[in-house]
Structure 1
Amino acid sequence: MAHHNPLRGRTAVVTGAARGLGAGLARELAGRGMRIALIGREAETLERVSRELPVESRCYEADVTDDDLMERTARRVARDLGEPSVVIANAGVAEGGPFATSDPGTWRRVIEVNLVGSAITARTFLPGLLASRGYFLQVASTAAFGSAPMMSAYCASKAGAESFAQSLRAECAHRGVGVGIAYLHWTDTDMVRDVDAHDVLRELRAHMPRPARTVYPVEKVASWLAEAVRRRSATVYAPPWLRLVQPVRPLLPLLVARSSARTLPRLAERGALSATGLLGPGGLAAREGRTDGGGRGDAGSSDRR
């Protein structure tokens, strides 16, 4: 029983799977014997990830904010790989800069992808999860409880995603579907590397306590989350020490405000307070609201074994 693997032979859906943590999760779950449905905006990059996997996998080019396209994608996944036992709402984007001068369309796009896209992912795949009595994992962030300046859209979206997952958990528990929330800190993805390319965001991160500045490898974070999937955990912290922050959560806004009151005026004097736009290559891919062609849901679909 110590070697029992409840994931082997089952199907996992991962959004935002073209790069970063999504690709890492696909590799980690494939290593545990799961069939993988990779969903993302970048067909060629999805294909490269798929070719690395030692299991059957399929790629689906889709925008998680498109209800109709995601509904069609869910039907294709069920047809190609079977009803999912695991769905991970990982797709996410970020932008930085002062809220007052932020671009309304970019700000809204972060909310749409990170919050609305997660809800659409859950809605479209929930029938399959109900059939398999499966597990839904919402990838959130420490931004859900430690809101930072210059990241208002990202923090709002992750706090909303956390609350959404908590509500979904309460609705689905009696129907056999588990819902987990992953609280991530700094993970070595393209998006986080782009954070450090912008002076104001890099300096704000530099003023965090030393443990809170550590960037963790994608492979390590993916392994923490995959183990949470195996256990059907209600919460997973990456890194695990973040669990210790939860009891002092009510104090964090005050501490952040005090630190920002010292740091932001100095940065403003240097003229560093400007919008970043969507961060990282994944942010560039998510800039437009729909997949090119207005409805392709299975672009370059592949079958890997």
Structure 2
Amino acid sequence: MSGAGGTGTGGTGARAGRLEGKVAVVTGAARGVGELLARKLSARGAKVALVGLEADELKRVAARLHAECGHWYADVTDHVTMAQVAREVEQRFGKVDIVVANAGVATGGPFADSDPDVWRRVIEVNLIGGAVTARAFLPALKESRGYFLQIASLAAIAPAPMMSAYCASKSGVEAFAHSLRAEVGHLGVRVGVGYLSWTDTDMVRGADEDGVMRELRERLPWPANRTYPLGSAVDRVVAGIERRSAHVYAQGWLRGMRPVRGYLPGLIASVGQREMRRFEPRLAGVRKGLVGAGGAADEKGRAQRK
């Protein structure tokens, strides 16, 4: 849930040249942030490799891109498959300059009542999937002295109740990216973390279908209780990629959270206890599966692979 530090608007002139001819890999590219990011990178002249679990949707996205592109059906948690994707992308385009680990899923509800398999899957896709993606493409990024952007979330800055798996996974990928940055910086590889607040995607709309989750979010303090437009959020992510930024903020106010994030766990615990008491009679009805169309696609893909 985040973006770059600038507005990221405009796709012509000197800024557009920063991505002209670059090869960018985007996971979770079938919809939402991944889809629009692929389209905006392509509009700026980048060649884009789309990776995801929805083959038909990936084809649809590829057909709308401006520059050369390709699409690969892959589960980002599968080491063997992702290593093969990395080899094929490099064979197709000759290099890899940018990798965006964007693939993610979410579930909500009380931890004690959560489905263990669903809870684990959120960790696997969001955290393990980001690491698997980095492992697969690091050889190519070392060769190109490229840029790896791990998409995290406001959930890494302010972990909230009813989102334990998502918050744990996004806190994990944030720490992973910071650690990786220190390891590969001397090789010329830059590593960034992208932070997004609630952004208008299938995932957020899917979460809002549950009345308790929607009302709980609406009771968050402003500006964290808003849903933000996808276009401007992705513009900021593109700007961060162009700058090879260490921190990318899709909503500008997220940058201001950094000085106070140490105080947030205590504040969230205090306010969260009050809200949980308020919603206690309705918690049993919270949906336990993955949310949104992307979550449905992940569940379908896992069922087919069994």
Report the TM range for the smaller structure's normalisation. Answer: over 0.9
Tell me how far 1:250 sits from its aligned partner.
1.1
The question of whether the paired residues in 2 share the 8 Å contact of 1:42 and 1:61 is answered with yes
Counterpart-to-counterpart distance in 2, 1:54 and 1:44: 18
Q: Deviations over 1:125-155 (max 9, x none)?
A: 0011011100000000010120110110000
Correspondence for 2:175 among 163, 180, 186: 163
Q: 2:6 — aligned with what? A: none
Using structure 1 for the length normalisation, give the TM-score.
Answer: 0.93
Q: Secondary structure at the match of 1:210?
A: coil
Task: Answer yes or no: is 1:122 the counterpart of 2:134.
Answer: yes
Task: Answer yes or no: is 1:207 the counterpart of 2:219.
Answer: yes
- Larger helix percent: 2
Using structure 2 for the length normalisation, give the TM-score.
Answer: 0.92
Q: Secondary structure at the match of 1:64?
A: coil
Correspondence for 1:268 among 280, 294, 298: 280
Q: 1:99 — aligned with what? A: 111
Identity rate, percent: 54
Correspondence for 2:82 among 70, 77, 88: 70
Q: Secondary structure at the match of 1:160?
A: helix
Which deviates the most, 254-263 or 58-67?
254-263
Code of the aligned partner of 2:112? A
Counterpart-to-counterpart distance in 2, 1:33 and 1:189: 25
Code of the aligned partner of 1:59? H
Q: Which runs of 4+ in 1 moved over 3 A?
A: 1-4, 270-273, 288-294
Counterpart-to-counterpart distance in 1, 2:68 and 2:14: 26
Task: Answer yes or no: is 1:287 the counterpart of 2:303.
Answer: no
The question of whether the paired residues in 2 share the 8 Å contact of 1:63 and 1:69 is answered with yes
Correspondence for 1:135 among 144, 147, 150: 147
The question of whether the paired residues in 1 share the 8 Å contact of 2:48 and 2:69 is answered with yes
Q: Deviations over 1:209-247 (max 9, x none)?
A: 232122122221111001100000000111011111111
Structure 2 residues not aligned, in runs of 5+? 1-12
Tell me how far 1:253 sits from its aligned partner.
1.1
Check 1:270–1:62 CA distance in 2 against 1; reply closer, same or farther (3 A cut).
Answer: closer
Tell me how far 1:181 sits from its aligned partner.
0.3
Structure 1 residues not aligned, in runs of 5+? 295-305
Counterpart-to-counterpart distance in 2, 1:264 and 1:273: 14
Supply the RMSD in Å over aligned alpha carbons.
Answer: 1.6
Q: Secondary structure at the match of 1:113?
A: helix
Q: How many residues align?
A: 294
